[in-house]
Structure 1
Amino acid sequence: MPRTRWRLALTTAAILVAAGPLQAPATAAQDTPAPAAAAQDTTTAQDTTAQDTTDYALTVDTARQGPKIDDTMYGVFFEDINRAADGGLYAELVQNRSFEYSTADHASYHPLTAWTRTGSGEVATVSDDGRLNERNRTYLRLRPDGTEAGTGVVNSGYTAGIPVTDGRRYDFSVWARTDAADGTPLTVALRAADGTPLAEPLRITARGDRWAQYTGTLTARATGTTGRLALTAGGTGTVRLDMVSLFPRDTYKGRPGGLRKDLAEKIAALRPGFLRFPGGCLVNTGSHEGYDEASGWQRKRSYQWKDTIGPVEERATNANFWGYNQSYGLGYYEYFQYAEDIGAMPLPVVPALVTGCGQNRVTDDPALLRRHIQDTLDLIEFANGPTTSVWGKKRAELGHPKPFGLTHLAVGNEENVFDAFFERFTAFRTAIEARYPDITVVSNSGPDAGGPTFDRAWQLNRDAKVALVDEHYYRSPQWFLENNERYDSYDRSGPQVFLGEYASQDNRFRNALSEAAFMTGLERNADIVKLASYAPLLADTASTQWRPDMIWFDSTRSWGSTSYEAQKLFMTNTGDRVVPSTATATPAVTGPITGAIGLSTWATSAAYDDVTVTGADGTPLFADDFSAGDSRWTRAENRGNWTVQGGRYVQSDATAENTLVTAGDPAWHDYDLRTKATKLSGREGFLVTFGVKDTGNYYWWNLGGWNNTQSAVEKAVGGAKQTLISDSTRIETGRTYDIRVEIRGRQVTLFLDGQKWGSFTDDKIAEPFRQVVTRDGNDLVVKVVNAQDAAARTAIDLGRGTKTAATARLTTLSGDPDAVNTADDHPIAPVTSTLKGVGASFTHTFPPHSITFLRVRIR
């Protein structure tokens, strides 16, 4: 039976970047399983009948114009997270090539991480005056003992090993010096983990006790993914080695020491309008010092662009915020070059000397601030200056005399200590605008979509007339469906928005659907949302610090997530201008907040007592003072250590996360929840839960969360959480707090120690049917997201007198909302077809759980 037919009015339609025709999936890269081929079908308008269908009407006003869409609206954000650079986009196959790994990178690291010793001679890593240079401080010392086996080391590469393909060439290089009078013979071999040879060995003789580079080529005679690079020294004497490197000859654009081809091509296939780099949290975290005479190069300093250019053997390495080492082989010159290669506007981000990402440290050093400002001015000169300038000349010496055409530069990333950040941002901005008035200096609004930091940030940015503010948020699919109109009410007088990081919290197709629905709102507001980029971009399956991600890879394969397919569809079919349109809405299903109650902790030991639940009319529903044990409580997960101690319910494991226990009736509504809570030890505070339907669907009042820096109410839907209200409340250890949650309908009021802490009404509608229309030359591109179980039978009106071609091109993503794209299975891929029966008005049924782009030629 069809559902009741409904009519709705949807807002002005919007648009995305990089105008271009709809496309079938890009050709799969070498060694990458191809997604299912895009089907070519012919469909007649109104010929699809779904058993479970909702009716909509979509009206397009082709006589009017909406906002112009900039070519740079959609782009990509690159951060070295999830091994995105070393072991990822940067094609180097040797891990820890310069023996610089350290406990500063990771507790398990040491200078021979990824290396094993072979032979019976001496193998040692050394940092002394014999080093390669001041930035490359540690090297390998071998003292072979003259035996036939020699003395050496074997590198295991990244993840499973070094991947090689039969018949392909691999370029080897090493820096060496030796005190052996007749030189030191070096044998370079590629073999599988079981010792099977993968290539003919390469033989080199190092001569002289001054550092020199030696190169050669290995040609694979077999294919394998567990390769090992063995480097063996013969003879006697002492030989020193550094920068042991192996690159596939077949890199992106064929550049020696360049980028991994399949990853670079998948990013390029998005046709991004900009490339934001190099981060992210790694930009402004760690120490802000550079070279230090006592300890050498600091291992946890902020990302400084001058460390990353020039010969790779002279670049510093650094501890990555995400828990591994970064070699800087992929540096600023390579970022600019890649942006140019893919036709993207470069958008670098420089540190502001105020750490974000939850660290909240401020560097108060005027001299250091001046140096960083000067470094930023030098960066602009490096990108844009003439070859007669100091840094323009340096760019030319690196092989690019033509300026890169930098127009935008961001200062800082996700700072929570916002007043301190803004003071420093202003110093950067003043200096940049004085010398380079055409550069747009981008600020930010902290790490979330709302809250006190966000509000303060926007106030300061607005008062200072900042041109562009970078917003970041990762939220639940529900949040993205509920917040399509987020930018409708933004002040058109500025600042404009750069949505630099966003994603819904998983990699299933339901996440891509919710993101696509949200993107229709971005396009509709293309006059205020000028730039947008999903994040993170890349993730190694064997080394992941963050999920979701757009492109996944292992040592030989790469594939786009469901979100990649959705982003690609928008990014390659943006159009030039929004065309105003309206559509009918899905009927809202409303009712009171219902659910049981719960208690939890996060990396904290806490005690609860005197839990009561009372109906709005005063009827007692539940009471537990734990005098009879904890039999009325159910553990949601096997986490934590809950016991009754001294008449209190105590969770004693100060390391366990989300130790939720629940009680009561999921049908409860309109009630008061009260309890007493005491923090005993640990990093955070209390989690008092209400509206509990199951372990993935609930609300909790997170008091003392985020390392006891703030408090908030979070709503979990399908396991993904969103913040509904927050403030800076912190929790004291040993103090007992009186907590009360009052639920009336969909309104919640919260009291802490008898004082009102805050309130909210959770009544936003998660609208599953969203659309936007854009004009791309002579085409109208009707973009419809149907994120529900029912098909959407839609009467489409392009306006009386509108003359169209008789057919239109459809590109559709559809499937199971829980579908995940993997290396071996790509269930979510675009299907193209031809739609017949198109005219000024026609009907089309959009499948359940689908993203559809309908391209109509206007005559």
Structure 2
Amino acid sequence: MRTHRLVAGLASGLVGTALLTGAPARGAEAPAALDYTISVDAERAGPRIDPAMYGLFFEDINRAADGGLYAELVQNRSFEYLPVDNRAYTGLTSWTAVSTAGGSGTVAAVNDDARMNERNRTYLKVTLTNADAGTYGVLNSGYNTGIPLEAGKSYDFSVWARTDAAGGTPLTITLRNQAGTTSYAPPVQLTVHGDTWRKYTGTFQATGTTDAARLAVEAAGSGTLRLDMVSLFPRDTFKGRPNGLRKDLAEKIAALRPGFLRFPGGCIVNTGSMYGYDAASGYQRARAYQWKDTIGPVEERATNANFWGYNQSYGLGYYEYLQFSEDIGAKPVPVVPALVTGCGQNRAVDDDALLQRHIQDALDLIEFANGPVTSTWGAERAAMGHPEPFGVDRIQVGNEENLPDAFMARFLRFRDAIKAKYPDITVISNSGPDDAGTTFDRAWELNRANGVEMVDEHYYNDPSWFLQNNKRYDSYDRSGAKVWLGEYASWDNKLANALAEGAYMTGLERNADVVTMASYAPLLANIDYVQWKPDMIWFDNDQSWGSANYEVQKLFMTNVGDEVVPSTATGAVRTAQPVTGAVGLSTWRTAARYDDVVVTSADGAQLFGDDFSNGADQWTPLAGRGAWSVVDGAYVQSDTTAENTMVAAGDEGWHDYDLSVKATKLSGAEGFLVGFGVKDSGTYYWWNLGGWNNTQGAVEKAVNGAKTTLIAKPNSIETGRTYDIKIQIRGTKVTLLLDGQVWGSFDDNAVTEPFAQVVTRDVAAKQLIIKVVNAQDAPARTTINLGAGVRVMGKAQMTVISGDPQELNTRTAQPIKPVTSTIKGVAPTFTRTFEPNSVTFIRVQTR
């Protein structure tokens, strides 16, 4: 999962592409139908489709685990939120002191010799000074608006506690509102005895429904009470499992019928320190994910600082991931770190002993998942309640590494060790964080040279890219490594985005002999804790809803078929559009000076010039950020915290021109952003020099705020040095010159194709599944020719998802949903008009 600019710069989402413009305005004439033909060779069979082709990628991002899929309702249950992880944290984050009937005392999160165990080091120390009738303790606020409760449901409470009070310490545990004026269940009464850690449990029966309850734990008497692992779980978890999963989220995931589950994430796997928990020194914060930290009793699992800015309790650990995979019929695909960081960190760890330890960890992981109960790690699995093996048959090493040579050297060590002990395990590599560029090309070169079995590709692009690249895998080597498209999405959750992804999925299926696995990403987002969007399923603390993307993914994932049936489509012809637009200047967390901006036409005539001797009146702010001013005859942006400070000048209709500018970095994190083909604040190209923390240069194309990388290579910019930047545009071709030398070039000549189709066969059901995406405002009047030798039933089941392409599903309304009906008139050759902005599946019964 790519970080940095793609997260921050796209927070506002996109509005659609030129071909995804929404329904005609009221009173406007609807576009005329366009004619297409689909020719199917139904008597032939194309590539077989892997039963695990479509699956899921789970990463603990957007509070997907704690506060999400993991059903625990108490936030910071073990008081391990600490400033070393997040400067905003304290051990009492999400907790406040509370008293009743004059109760008094003090509370503090402490780490001393009285701790519960070496991995769960911080606990709550409560010093009680109550009067006779008083109680004193703490109140937990849960996640989002609070703790959700439903009348009539049961909720299981537990706490680990010890006390130095000779007669014991009575506890009163209540579910109440913030003010304490409303109770949502009869209280649970417990008494803590003895000054050693013991677990105490109780059950609430909710009498009211709310999404904003609080959990209060109050004690009577005096003395020192110690509390840890304060927990509240709904009894009604997915499949009723203790320490289980939130039912509504798990059921939405299960409804996708995924073929695999990739876990525990991307960036959280290969970032931070590569060391795991070390008992001698206590926690090592911000370390890479270590699977051994996540198994065993939950009170003995380490807490980790998540790459995405919050803590993971590891209550949802490797055992739970494997069990969930089994519960939903998905192949488990674990990801382990390769000791080369990614996600913008770009560091290789040179420590052979540590590398060997991680290789052994990977071998132990496979044994934990698959080994007999007589093996060391198989016995650990059995002790947790699952003596049968989980059947892991593939494992991924690494994620989005930007150092392909360093990564491959380490990957081969992992692969050799795994294959020596487990020859039937597929060991999966990757190609970096993008769909093209220097890293991608080198990674694939190394993967091919080393005979890698499967390569994981990741990319997040604008919808037009997906509509332009349906044939991406047509030219891949059929005898080479298989492709796992492990992370992909277009940049929003509108129907337009879902349609673009659906159109692209027809190309994935057509190339099922190359692309054997694919998963949209990310899977989950808590609406109040968003680090990344778009996402497939959204939720708050008591509601969840599938995005438009979810509905389209579900349609494909539950109607895959067993084999591809050869088919072709003909119809409306489109051509590539030339690069046109004004020019722009911008920065990203960098102060820079620009001067001598000149734009000339292809014949040498000057279209624009500005040396800023008369101010900067020709420039218009587009981003509304930054501190631009004319200083000593140059245009200076001086704010080193602002991201995307775009200002623009010129004519939106400019084409076939040369742009030259002098640029100097003054200070900050990156380099220069020089815009061309600028239409507005969300639609432009820019040459990004010194991007990604001054490690890479690229040309990014933005369409309504969603970016696609067209060319990329390593690059850095020196502070204080003046660079001559020149961009030459001729039609769809662009040449980039830095200090008079060609830095790179590209041809943006891809044609956007809004009509896409594929046909597959469900062998057992004897059905042809015709899948058509019409991602444009015009209806698609389509003749479908199944072949003269095919006999079919006259009726078929048809499922359609359609609507305004700018519409999206929200907490309060989900207008994008499938509609299934029975159609008549099906024959070896029949005509069907596919709605504008729609995806349609027709299951044709053959005789």
| TM superposition score normalised by structure 2 | 0.95
The Cα shift of 1:51 comes to 5.3
| Residues in 2 aligned to 1:294 and 1:78: alpha-carbon distance in whole angstroms | 32
- In structure 1, the residue corresponding to 2:689 is in which secondary structure? strand
- In structure 1, the residue corresponding to 2:624 is in which secondary structure? coil
The Cα shift of 1:591 comes to 4.2
Q: Show the counterpart of 1:230.
A: 216
Among 753, 763, 785, the alignment partner of 1:797 is 785
Q: Deviations along 1:646-677, whole A, 9 cap, x unmatched?
A: 00000111111111111111111111111101
The Cα shift of 1:300 comes to 1.5
Among 85, 109, 126, the alignment partner of 1:125 is 109
Given residue 94 of structure 1, which amino acid in structure 2 is its aligned partner?
A: V
- In structure 1, the residue corresponding to 2:479 is in which secondary structure? coil
- In structure 2, the residue corresponding to 1:808 is in which secondary structure? strand
Q: How does 1:481-560 map to 2 (within 5 A)?
A: 481-560=467-546
Report whether the alignment pairs 1:832 with 2:820.
yes
The Cα shift of 1:193 comes to 2.2
Q: How does 1:752-831 map to 2 (within 5 A)?
A: 752-777=738-763, 778-831=766-819
Are the counterparts in 2 of residues 271 and 572 from structure 1 also a CA contact under 8 Å?
yes
Q: Show the counterpart of 2:90.
A: 110
Report whether the alignment pairs 1:849 with 2:837.
yes
Given residue 607 of structure 1, which amino acid in structure 2 is its aligned partner?
A: R
Are the counterparts in 1 of residues 439 and 713 from structure 2 also a CA contact under 8 Å?
no
The Cα shift of 1:293 comes to 5.3
Q: Show the counterpart of 1:161.
A: 146
Q: Show the counterpart of 1:69.
A: 49
Are the counterparts in 1 of residues 576 and 750 from structure 2 also a CA contact under 8 Å?
no
| Residues in 1 aligned to 2:150 and 2:53: alpha-carbon distance in whole angstroms | 39
Q: Show the counterpart of 1:217.
A: 203
Are the counterparts in 2 of residues 586 and 768 from structure 1 also a CA contact under 8 Å?
no
| Residues in 1 aligned to 2:840 and 2:87: alpha-carbon distance in whole angstroms | 48
Are the counterparts in 1 of residues 43 and 790 from structure 2 also a CA contact under 8 Å?
no
Q: Show the counterpart of 2:401.
A: 415
- In structure 2, the residue corresponding to 1:722 is in which secondary structure? strand
| Residues in 2 aligned to 1:53 and 1:351: alpha-carbon distance in whole angstroms | 52
Given residue 238 of structure 2, which amino acid in structure 1 is its aligned partner?
A: Y
Q: Show the counterpart of 2:729.
A: 743
Are the counterparts in 2 of residues 192 and 224 from structure 1 also a CA contact under 8 Å?
no
The Cα shift of 1:294 comes to 5.6
The Cα shift of 1:586 comes to 2.8
- In structure 1, the residue corresponding to 2:223 is in which secondary structure? coil
Report whether the alignment pairs 1:468 with 2:468.
no
The gaps in structure 1 that reach 5 residues or longer are 1-48
Given residue 855 of structure 1, which amino acid in structure 2 is its aligned partner?
A: R
Are the counterparts in 1 of residues 31 and 777 from structure 2 also a CA contact under 8 Å?
no
| Residues in 2 aligned to 1:512 and 1:550: alpha-carbon distance in whole angstroms | 10
Among 648, 668, 672, the alignment partner of 1:682 is 668
The Cα shift of 1:730 comes to 1.1
Q: Show the counterpart of 1:647.
A: 633
Are the counterparts in 1 of residues 35 and 571 from structure 2 also a CA contact under 8 Å?
no
More deviation, 99-108/445-454: 99-108
Q: Show the counterpart of 1:36.
A: none
Q: Show the counterpart of 1:150.
A: 135
| Residues in 2 aligned to 1:797 and 1:255: alpha-carbon distance in whole angstroms | 50
Report whether the alignment pairs 1:181 with 2:161.
no
Given residue 72 of structure 1, which amino acid in structure 2 is its aligned partner?
A: A
The Cα shift of 1:770 comes to 0.4
The Cα shift of 1:824 comes to 1.1
Are the counterparts in 2 of residues 585 and 767 from structure 1 also a CA contact under 8 Å?
no
Among 559, 562, 566, the alignment partner of 2:552 is 566
- In structure 1, the residue corresponding to 2:554 is in which secondary structure? helix
- In structure 2, the residue corresponding to 1:465 is in which secondary structure? coil
Q: Deviations along 1:237-256, whole A, 9 cap, x unmatched?
A: 11111000000011000112
| Residues in 1 aligned to 2:382 and 2:218: alpha-carbon distance in whole angstroms | 38
Are the counterparts in 1 of residues 42 and 786 from structure 2 also a CA contact under 8 Å?
yes
Q: Deviations along 1:716-774, whole A, 9 cap, x unmatched?
A: 11211111111112111100000111111111111110111111111100100000000
| Residues in 1 aligned to 2:578 and 2:442: alpha-carbon distance in whole angstroms | 33
- In structure 1, the residue corresponding to 2:677 is in which secondary structure? strand
Q: Deviations along 1:292-341, whole A, 9 cap, x unmatched?
A: 45631212211111111111000000000000000000000001101000
Are the counterparts in 2 of residues 143 and 151 from structure 1 also a CA contact under 8 Å?
no
Are the counterparts in 2 of residues 123 and 151 from structure 1 also a CA contact under 8 Å?
no
| Residues in 2 aligned to 1:586 and 1:155: alpha-carbon distance in whole angstroms | 60
The Cα shift of 1:118 comes to 2.0
The Cα shift of 1:487 comes to 0.6
- In structure 2, the residue corresponding to 1:367 is in which secondary structure? helix
Among 55, 60, 74, the alignment partner of 1:80 is 60
Among 301, 304, 315, the alignment partner of 1:315 is 301
Given residue 176 of structure 1, which amino acid in structure 2 is its aligned partner?
A: A
- Change in 2 beyond 3 A, CA 1:710/1:800: same
Are the counterparts in 2 of residues 353 and 362 from structure 1 also a CA contact under 8 Å?
yes
| Residues in 2 aligned to 1:678 and 1:310: alpha-carbon distance in whole angstroms | 56
Given residue 787 of structure 1, which amino acid in structure 2 is its aligned partner?
A: A
Q: Show the counterpart of 1:19.
A: none
Given residue 337 of structure 2, which amino acid in structure 1 is its aligned partner?
A: P
Are the counterparts in 2 of residues 251 and 260 from structure 1 also a CA contact under 8 Å?
yes
Among 671, 693, 697, the alignment partner of 1:707 is 693
The Cα shift of 1:590 comes to 4.0
Among 357, 362, 368, the alignment partner of 2:348 is 362
- Change in 2 beyond 3 A, CA 1:368/1:184: same
Given residue 154 of structure 2, which amino acid in structure 1 is its aligned partner?
A: R
| Residues in 1 aligned to 2:577 and 2:408: alpha-carbon distance in whole angstroms | 43
Q: Deviations along 1:581-606, whole A, 9 cap, x unmatched?
A: 01014321444321111111111111
Q: Show the counterpart of 2:656.
A: 670
Given residue 461 of structure 2, which amino acid in structure 1 is its aligned partner?
A: R
- In structure 2, the residue corresponding to 1:487 is in which secondary structure? helix
- In structure 2, the residue corresponding to 1:488 is in which secondary structure? helix
- In structure 1, the residue corresponding to 2:474 is in which secondary structure? coil
The Cα shift of 1:221 comes to 1.1
- Change in 2 beyond 3 A, CA 1:590/1:413: closer
| Residues in 1 aligned to 2:578 and 2:428: alpha-carbon distance in whole angstroms | 43
| Residues in 1 aligned to 2:427 and 2:279: alpha-carbon distance in whole angstroms | 34
| Residues in 2 aligned to 1:812 and 1:636: alpha-carbon distance in whole angstroms | 39
Are the counterparts in 1 of residues 671 and 694 from structure 2 also a CA contact under 8 Å?
yes
| Residues in 1 aligned to 2:280 and 2:356: alpha-carbon distance in whole angstroms | 23
- In structure 2, the residue corresponding to 1:597 is in which secondary structure? strand
| Residues in 1 aligned to 2:218 and 2:468: alpha-carbon distance in whole angstroms | 61
Given residue 818 of structure 2, which amino acid in structure 1 is its aligned partner?
A: P
Among 125, 144, 158, the alignment partner of 1:141 is 125
| Residues in 2 aligned to 1:693 and 1:215: alpha-carbon distance in whole angstroms | 62
| Residues in 2 aligned to 1:637 and 1:124: alpha-carbon distance in whole angstroms | 46
- In structure 1, the residue corresponding to 2:302 is in which secondary structure? coil
- In structure 1, the residue corresponding to 2:112 is in which secondary structure? coil
Q: Deviations along 1:554-590, whole A, 9 cap, x unmatched?
A: 0110000000000000000000000000101432144
- In structure 2, the residue corresponding to 1:297 is in which secondary structure? coil
Are the counterparts in 2 of residues 507 and 548 from structure 1 also a CA contact under 8 Å?
yes
Identical aligned residues as a percent = 68
| Residues in 2 aligned to 1:402 and 1:676: alpha-carbon distance in whole angstroms | 67
Are the counterparts in 2 of residues 774 and 780 from structure 1 also a CA contact under 8 Å?
yes
Higher RCO (Cα < 8 Å, 6 or more apart): 1
Structure 1: 4+ residue segments shifted above 4 A: none
Q: Show the counterpart of 1:13.
A: none
Are the counterparts in 2 of residues 633 and 662 from structure 1 also a CA contact under 8 Å?
yes
Among 146, 157, 162, the alignment partner of 1:172 is 157
| Residues in 2 aligned to 1:761 and 1:286: alpha-carbon distance in whole angstroms | 38
Given residue 555 of structure 1, which amino acid in structure 2 is its aligned partner?
A: N
Q: Deviations along 1:761-789, whole A, 9 cap, x unmatched?
A: 11100100000000012100000000011
